[in-house]
Structure 1
């Protein structure tokens, strides 16, 4: 990492980066920004969590002026990512008067039309809705676009957006600058580079393998019927700050979220059948720490950028190694450490071995904590919290109440009662989940990653 000072950025952008707490630039930013500022096309091979939004966002803000025309477009695979990217671009452009507007499916057109009337300089959009505005609605004009960014291009190709991407590019000026970011370098990505980019510079490193020592990777061998209890025991002993639990189906999201809530955990679920208002509300709760556990499907969680996720649980093991890489990449971000824990049934051991082979990283076997260990950990956590509070600034706030209680009761009885109220011992409320259909095997064995 190096300082942003070395990149010779404008004063408004430097002021914005300082207000955002950015001090050192990442490798992908050091590699991308100088080239982009010179007008070069760039392919950035960068997984999520490496600072790629700022890598293209900083030069994008630098080349835009505050005239009322659309000068840059970012295409993203999901609505969540569109919202997150636009938020960061608005922060980077806050002192230069540059504004970004997210455009995505699932949101009413009237709100998007209202936003467009305010003349943003940057549009961050999902492919289908962007194409609709460019062609049917004719509410977005691409004549003044100087820069196009394809963010998480491999995800967009996997989701079948390739035709929309080509159609959008045809509506933009041929002399535009194009930046493409992808975690992998598939033949389809190379085809886009050859056909639609001008001698692109390739920066970063291909990331088909898990190269994140900050993520401690574990697996738990467990029967399908024992997964829920195993998850609860681990939550009780490891006490994650924020955790994402990945499952395969929408039904599993609803069932697992309901089960965790019944057991007393602050859990929310996220899947594709939810309307955008509900999804935004759930993500706001999770980001703000009002809920501890987010249960999600792969599609629903694509593009999530939350820096404080400490644990990722693969409640249902992903069917291919690339999905595993994307899932665990939700933790260990921004230089922080993270833990991934994968639940594996006997039938899924071969799939576990395939993931280890492709990622070139062995997962450590983890035993499910016993009920006694879970209780001991909850007790230790509360006692540590009490001791810490005893030396805090607010420790004497209720001293008069404490003295009054001690006049009528002995101290041991009072402390014992307080611990009884504070300690959350493991709940034994019965929870039954619908077992998923056996997946993962196709003709010729497990699905291997794209070559």
Structure 2
């Protein structure tokens, strides 16, 4: 009976599988017919079609014709498989604008260039066509790689992989995530050939193409570039060209980004065929999300950390995302603020971190309310839930970078706020943002210096306490200047206009680090003209949180919360007769580098202090007071004469020093020669001794000892050399001696 039941169950399972295959074949045939009969016209935007009623979602209308899905609003009104629709429910029911506009074209197999605002649902616009195309082709593990999705960052690739798992969980397609920073490359090489969908970064994909045996993409059906403008730029040019050269030209290509490229040269690299350019927000009044409140505030470079600290202290119950230029800046600000304890959890994210650490931080920031310090690695595509504020401490490199940064908040239909700190030398960026097309509604505010909490004194004490933090502050200083120098837009970014000394003091550094990479012209100094600074004296006291850090002097201030007011600028008047403070501390010279005297240095610019600590005019120590109240007076000819005399003495001392150096070098060389001669002589003496010893051993072996029996006393004769003994005997005596020896031997 048991055998019969087993056979019956096998037959039942085979029948179910057969029915399932038949149902899939019928569904695929229906979808193919639906798509073929209802193709949208080339060059049209389906958003222009009117919406269908909700009860038309069954796929057919009353007259028996297929529904014109080009004007659909719901996912179940599109020619999608039942498994995909089940994966979309219940999270995704209604389509966004970019999905309504692009899906009809991409489901037909056309190349698409999609451009839409950040947070508008571009991910589903290319994940759904990828799944549907491989499903209709009945793709399996034996068919190899059918689709490749390329992402510029590891975090974005991981986010796309999670979205693919959600939508395609009812399909039998296999997918793999290929990103750098992992140690299991050998495991990837074993499994990558059996994957149907690959989500990867350009570098990792190219590594598998070069190193993995039998890696085959000749059957590729679809290529997707997410954040296409970032992948097509110079940073990934070599990798992308190498990848495209190994892919078949007959394929479908989808490109999506918030700032899409229209360059014919870039599109020709991808071998696109009559692509459909779809920009759902091209006619929109703004290039950024509608529910985003954007603020820009002029903050001098040396006060940016003070403003950032004050902003964080006044928004302890908000979720903050802070953008900085370089990895070292992110690490320094994170470590310093973490030791100061602002009262909110702090996280940092940059490209120099290990992959597992980056993914863990990304997950933490998605789950809890915190402040994340990051580089532009988190500016593209990442969907951080419920970000309240995006703070740009450093100015973005261009308008596209600004749009991507602020797009981390106000995603979909939620609200958000962003604030940009720009220095006086970066005012041109604000002009470009205001004149951008489509417009970027950014509001200018003024900072209230009185409400700001200076922390440079606290940072200085931290650097003394933690030497490692001081080295990190120096690297942050240098990397920021390098990032400014490497920017292409010189109208906005001019490193020569930055206040080096004040910026170093704001980081807590006791002296300005040496800037080796800057090539200065003859007579040019490193320090730019000092900017107006606040006269607020810094004290090493605990920082107290304040609720009124932000104030607004514009008409929209009434609509803001009291905690989100922007600071008003109030500059304290300088007391009469008060001397200006020193512009900065002298530059430090590293120990490994020789000190070079700058003959073109300005004369008389150093500060002199008296015994009480008061600053005196330059060269005051050399002048004589005339008793008047108007200060010291100098004789210009006397000063110039003194400097000439000092220069002559310096030249004289230089000659003496050179002669002394030559004499010392000559003595060193002579001493080395004598030492070599002594060593050679000792070696020769040792060789002679060895030869004599070996010669003595050879002579000793040739000695002959003879005994005599003719002594009357019966004593033996003393031993002597055979040659001496033979020379003292006559011929007859020698013959007799030989005969005696022979007789003894015979007896």
TM-score of the two chains, using structure 2 as the length reference: 0.49
- Once the two structures are superposed, the pairs formed by residues 111-150 of structure 1 within 5 Å of their partners are 111-113=187-189, 115-116=191-192, 119-138=194-213, 140-150=215-225
Q: 2:418 & 2:356 partners in 1: Cα distance?
A: 29
Over aligned residues, Cα RMSD in angstroms? 3.0
SS of residue matched to 1:166: helix
Bigger RCO of structures 1 and 2 (CA < 8 A, at least 6 apart): 1
Match of 2:236 among 151, 161, 174: 161
* Equivalent pair of 1:184/1:206 in contact (CA under 8 Å): no
Q: Deviations over 1:362-402 (max 9, x none)?
A: 4223455799899xxxxxxxxxxxxxxxxxxxxxxxxxxxx
* Equivalent pair of 1:245/1:296 in contact (CA under 8 Å): yes
* Equivalent pair of 2:241/2:269 in contact (CA under 8 Å): no
- 2:350 maps to 271
Q: 1:174 & 1:345 partners in 2: Cα distance?
A: 48
1:35–1:322 CA distance, 2 compared to 1 (3 A): same
SS of residue matched to 2:361: helix
SS of residue matched to 1:149: strand
Number of residue pairs the alignment of both structures matches: 393
Q: 2:413 & 2:267 partners in 1: Cα distance?
A: 32
* Structure with a larger share of its residues in strand: 1
* Equivalent pair of 1:312/1:341 in contact (CA under 8 Å): yes
Give the C-alpha shift of residue 86 in structure 1: 1.4
SS of residue matched to 1:135: helix
Match of 2:384 among 269, 290, 306: 306
Give the C-alpha shift of residue 444 in structure 1: 5.8
Unaligned runs of 5+ residues in structure 1 are 375-425
Q: 2:76 & 2:440 partners in 1: Cα distance?
A: 36
SS of residue matched to 1:143: coil
Give the C-alpha shift of residue 281 in structure 1: 1.3
Q: 2:288 & 2:489 partners in 1: Cα distance?
A: 30
Give the C-alpha shift of residue 140 in structure 1: 3.2
- Once the two structures are superposed, the pairs formed by residues 415-434 of structure 1 within 5 Å of their partners are 430-431=458-459
1:444–1:373 CA distance, 2 compared to 1 (3 A): closer
1:213–1:129 CA distance, 2 compared to 1 (3 A): same
- 1:403 maps to none
Q: Deviations over 1:159-190 (max 9, x none)?
A: 52233323323323332211112333435466
1:366–1:246 CA distance, 2 compared to 1 (3 A): same
- Once the two structures are superposed, the pairs formed by residues 91-240 of structure 1 within 5 Å of their partners are 91-108=166-183, 109-113=185-189, 115-116=191-192, 119-138=194-213, 140-186=215-261, 188=263, 191-193=266-268, 196-205=271-280, 210-239=287-316
Q: 1:345 & 1:175 partners in 2: Cα distance?
A: 50
Give the C-alpha shift of residue 157 in structure 1: 2.1
User: Based on CA coordinates, which of the two structures has the bigger radius of gyration?
Assistant: 2
* Equivalent pair of 1:260/1:266 in contact (CA under 8 Å): no
* Equivalent pair of 1:233/1:369 in contact (CA under 8 Å): no
Give the C-alpha shift of residue 61 in structure 1: 0.8
- 1:12 maps to 83
Q: 1:173 & 1:195 partners in 2: Cα distance?
A: 11
1:25–1:104 CA distance, 2 compared to 1 (3 A): same
1:370–1:16 CA distance, 2 compared to 1 (3 A): farther
Q: 2:179 & 2:380 partners in 1: Cα distance?
A: 14
Please tell me whether residue 57 in structure 1 is matched to residue 127 in structure 2: yes
Give the C-alpha shift of residue 57 in structure 1: 0.4
Match of 1:363 among 430, 442, 447: 442
Q: Deviations over 1:212-256 (max 9, x none)?
A: 221100022223333233223333434464221001111210111
Q: 2:489 & 2:251 partners in 1: Cα distance?
A: 44
- 2:319 maps to 242
Q: 2:291 & 2:264 partners in 1: Cα distance?
A: 28
1:368–1:158 CA distance, 2 compared to 1 (3 A): same
Q: 1:372 & 1:191 partners in 2: Cα distance?
A: 50
- 2:404 maps to 326
SS of residue matched to 2:336: helix
* Equivalent pair of 2:206/2:243 in contact (CA under 8 Å): yes
Q: 1:332 & 1:300 partners in 2: Cα distance?
A: 15
SS of residue matched to 1:430: helix
Q: Deviations over 1:42-63 (max 9, x none)?
A: 1112343221110010111112
TM-score of the two chains, using structure 1 as the length reference: 0.78
- 1:352 maps to 430
Q: 1:189 & 1:307 partners in 2: Cα distance?
A: 36
Unaligned runs of 5+ residues in structure 2 are 1-71, 461-472, 494-747
Q: 1:90 & 1:195 partners in 2: Cα distance?
A: 27
